[in-house]
Amino acid sequence: MVDTLLTQDPYVKVALNVPLRATFDYKIPKALAYRHHIRPGMRVKVPFGKGDRHSIGLVIETSVSSDYPDTQIKPITALLDDSPIISQELFDLCAWAARYYHHPIGEVFFHALPTSLRKGETADFRTETWWFLTEQGKTTDIESLKNAKQQKAFLDALKQHAEHGLSPHLLTVFELTSAAAKGLEKKGLVRSEQRSFIKSVETHAHQKQVPPTLNPEQAAATHAILAMRNEFGVALLDGITGSGKTEVFLRAIEALLKDDKQILVMVPEIGLTPQTLRRFESRFNTDIVLMHSNMTDRERLDAWLMIEHGQANIIIGTRSSVFVPATRLGLIIIDEEHDASYKQHEGFRYHARDLAIKRAQGLHIPVLLASATPSYESMANALQKRYHWLKLRQRAGDAQLPQMERVDLRGQSLKQGFSEHTLERMRQTLERKEQVLVFLNRRGYAPTLMCHQCGWIAACDHCDVNLTVHKRANKLHCHHCDSHKALLHTCPECHSTELFTVGEGTEQIEGVLNQYFKHTPVLRIDRDSTQRKTALTQITQKIHEHDQAILVGTQMLAKGHHFPNVTLVVIMDADVGLFSSDFRGMERTAQLITQVAGRAGRSSKRGHVLLQTYHPDHSAIECLCVQGYEALAMSGLRERQQLALPPFYHQVVIRAESQQEQQAMSLLMQLRNQMSVHLSEEMQIVGPYAAIIVRKAGQHRALLSLKSPQRGNLHRIVALASQWLEQNTKNHKIRFAIDVDPLET
């Protein structure tokens, strides 16, 4: 005991869940130091803020001294853990992420923890009450309880389960009450015991599937991945849609499970997890846990603990699962690695793919990035041989890649967005009892509501955007700040009742198709039609039940679904990305089109894709249709290199927002002036400039962009900038954010 006191440093630096780029000093009270050895990674309760308020913090380091006089340093109120709640490895990852992303260290660490642990709950499995017979209970005749029916039933059931006792689950099964149990406890006949609850993983009743024989490309890819185990390396599994990428990683997982390793599989969407889970369960006889934001706090904590205790070998999760406390990780797989949802777009703006790679590096394990449309960043890394480039260019089984055809819209009379040719092809497909998928990346009924008399347009009160018309919900909805109001029928400017909608959204297209194809079910898949948890499953079930059907949807359709009877895909508007002000516009559009197109012809029937466009000869559209995604990416990368854009230049964007119009902009202007003396020659600074949508949710937004081919220089400047910003936004109503490797500019 005395030893502890002698070796224990007197101070701790604590990270708190606050947006400040600092740790906070506290002293360790002697009474605590006698009994515990306080180390980094343990949680403490500390006084913070006004009055007697407290916060939960995480010890970052212990220290022999402090920059503050001892009298000003407050003592820790309580120590919450006996040992660190995160491993050294995770601790280092978080500390690195805080530095790399220039984000407040407390917010980074707290982001990595499940909510219940952030709030200070104990890092233990929940306990539940089990009931057992006492010696007296064993010899008591149940008939003596004649007058207490429930107690009699309870004792009867317990006598039959004397060996293992009664769990809460059995209490429910036998309709027993805990009141009866407590009554019996008073009589000394039964006793209770608290047992830790370990989520019993459902016995996987699934018939285990026999895996298919790998084709030569799949076999080579699997072999290459397995050759990388036990060392750090990144493999880019670049396989066209339906080429059997998932099959490749199932094989890799199988091999690693035999080595007693844990495997983290990251997926972009919560919606995808049940599907992926089923596929995994039908293959492996091991415990699989899910990690995503749609779970309750308790479920997340249980999953977290199961992973930490090594009870789960396969973890399937979304973005934040990059922080799972696995201790035997052998492989990290990132499915659909190009997906933008891996980047957090607010608060701690990390990219889960990049952090996963950093994590794997520290652990000396491989990472597998899988996609049919790899991000240009990953393509560049593969080209520069930093990643192993594993290509699958054949569709698995006997499926063929769909044929891409352009439909020239110039001079055509369109019927609510469809050309006559498109409609005819849809008709033919349906007649063959096959399915059609119509893709339009705009939900709602129409993107604009306008007045015929005065030209008034319904705009959001809080953002610089038009409101989307949602007819069925009878609402005008802002897709940027989520505010909405009732659908208007008279013009607020001139009181005319001649309001009309401009453009089409999926809700309108669904109606149009219902009229054209009266006897064919039309199913819509977008965020509105799938709000209820089970809705997507129900819709996909319907799709599988019918021969003929038309699916209409947004980018939700692009994600991983397998509709074997879809043979025609219609891209209503292939031109959206062509003239985007964002340099990633074309990359995104090409990914979306390729992914959606990939839904066609996934079984034995050949698929066709119709791209409706006003620019059939545009080089990008032509390249995509004739040569495919890889060729387009290569030319896109050449362009980025010429223009000094990412991934050839590293970028950091500093965002500021203020309620008052000019404040954000002038803050960034001052910052730019401050920084200009520190800029090295190769560095580029652009801005400040207004965000594409200047006002969002009532905030005026401005950006300052910094680029450099050298990360080191860029980070030094950004560190200075963040210090300056923190000091200069204290008294103002300006918020700022530092976005390292931004996806939105």
* C-alpha dihedral sign at 340, 608, 632, 506: negative
Does the protein bind Zn ion through residue 458 (CB under 5 A)? Answer: no
> Residue 445: enclosing H or E segment and its boundaries?
none
| Among the listed residues 316, 322, 304, the one whose alpha carbon sits nearest the alpha carbon of residue 358 | 322
Q: Is 623 annotated as a binding residue?
A: no
Phi first, then psi, for residue 266 (nearest 5°) are: -100, 135
In the complex, what is the shortest distance from the CB of residue 530 to ligand ADP, in angstroms, rounded to a whole number? 21
Which pair of structure tokens corresponds to residue 434?
Answer: 């096959």
Cis peptide before 647 (omega within 30 of 0): yes
Selected from 88, 177, 453, 680, the binder of Zn ion by CB under 5 A is 453
Does the protein bind ligand ADP through residue 239 (CB under 6 A)? Answer: yes
Distance CA 347, CA 19 (A): 9
Does the protein bind ligand ADP through residue 447 (CB under 6 A)? Answer: no
What are the residues facing 333 on neighbouring strands? 265, 368
Selected from 460, 536, 570, 738, the binder of Zn ion by CB under 5 A is 460
- Other C-beta atoms closer than 10 Å to the C-beta of 644 total 14
Does the protein bind Zn ion through residue 467 (CB under 5 A)? Answer: no
Selected from 49, 397, 455, 698, the binder of ligand ADP by CB under 6 A is 397
How are beta strands 435-439 and 566-571 bridged, if at all? parallel
Residue 235: what residue type? A
In the complex, what is the shortest distance from the CB of residue 505 to Zn ion, in angstroms, rounded to a whole number? 17
Does the protein bind ligand ADP through residue 241 (CB under 6 A)? Answer: yes
| Among the listed residues 546, 597, 541, 324, the one whose alpha carbon sits nearest the alpha carbon of residue 435 | 546
**Cβ nearer to ligand ADP, comparing 244 with 742:** 244
Does the protein bind ligand ADP through residue 347 (CB under 6 A)? Answer: no
Distance CA 46, CA 34 (A): 18
In the complex, what is the shortest distance from the CB of residue 375 to ligand ADP, in angstroms, rounded to a whole number? 17
Selected from 22, 454, 502, 535, the binder of Zn ion by CB under 5 A is 454
Q: Which residues contact 55 (CB under 8 A, 6 or more apart)?
A: 16, 17, 18, 45, 46, 48, 49
Binding-site string for ligand ADP from residue 102 to residue 141, where x marks contact by CB under 6 A and - marks none: ----------------------------------------
Distance CA 412, CA 452 (A): 25
Does the protein bind ligand ADP through residue 696 (CB under 6 A)? Answer: no
Does the protein bind ligand ADP through residue 246 (CB under 6 A)? Answer: yes
Cis peptide before 521 (omega within 30 of 0): no
**Cβ nearer to Zn ion, comparing 496 with 680:** 496
**Cβ nearer to ligand ADP, comparing 247 with 510:** 247
Which one of 74-82, 85-93, 211-219, 380-388 is the stretch in contact with ligand ADP (CB under 6 A)?
Answer: 211-219
How are beta strands 388-392 and 233-239 bridged, if at all? parallel
In the complex, what is the shortest distance from the CB of residue 534 to ligand ADP, in angstroms, rounded to a whole number? 23
Which of Zn ion, ligand ADP, none does residue 453 bind (CB under 5 to 8 Å by kind)?
A: Zn ion
Per CB under 5 A, contacts with Zn ion among 432-451 are 451
Q: Is 478 annotated as a binding residue?
A: yes
In the complex, what is the shortest distance from the CB of residue 259 to Zn ion, in angstroms, rounded to a whole number? 51
Q: Is 463 annotated as a binding residue?
A: yes
Does the protein bind ligand ADP through residue 607 (CB under 6 A)? Answer: no
In the complex, what is the shortest distance from the CB of residue 527 to Zn ion, in angstroms, rounded to a whole number? 16
> Residue 378: enclosing H or E segment and its boundaries?
helix 376-383
Radius of gyration for the alpha carbons in the chain, expressed in angstroms and rounded: 30
Which pair of structure tokens corresponds to residue 424?
Answer: 């005819």
Which one of 20-28, 74-82, 207-215, 463-471 is the stretch in contact with ligand ADP (CB under 6 A)?
Answer: 207-215
Does the protein bind ligand ADP through residue 212 (CB under 6 A)? Answer: yes
Alpha helices in 525-579 (DSSP H): 535-545
327 close to 310: Cβ distance less than 8 angstroms: yes
In the complex, what is the shortest distance from the CB of residue 234 to Zn ion, in angstroms, rounded to a whole number? 39
In the complex, what is the shortest distance from the CB of residue 742 to Zn ion, in angstroms, rounded to a whole number? 22
Which pair of structure tokens corresponds to residue 427?
Answer: 């008709």
Residues of this chain that bind ligand ADP (CB under 6 A): 212-215, 218, 239, 241-247, 396-397
Residues at the binding site for Zn(2+) are: 451, 454, 460, 463, 478, 481, 491, 494
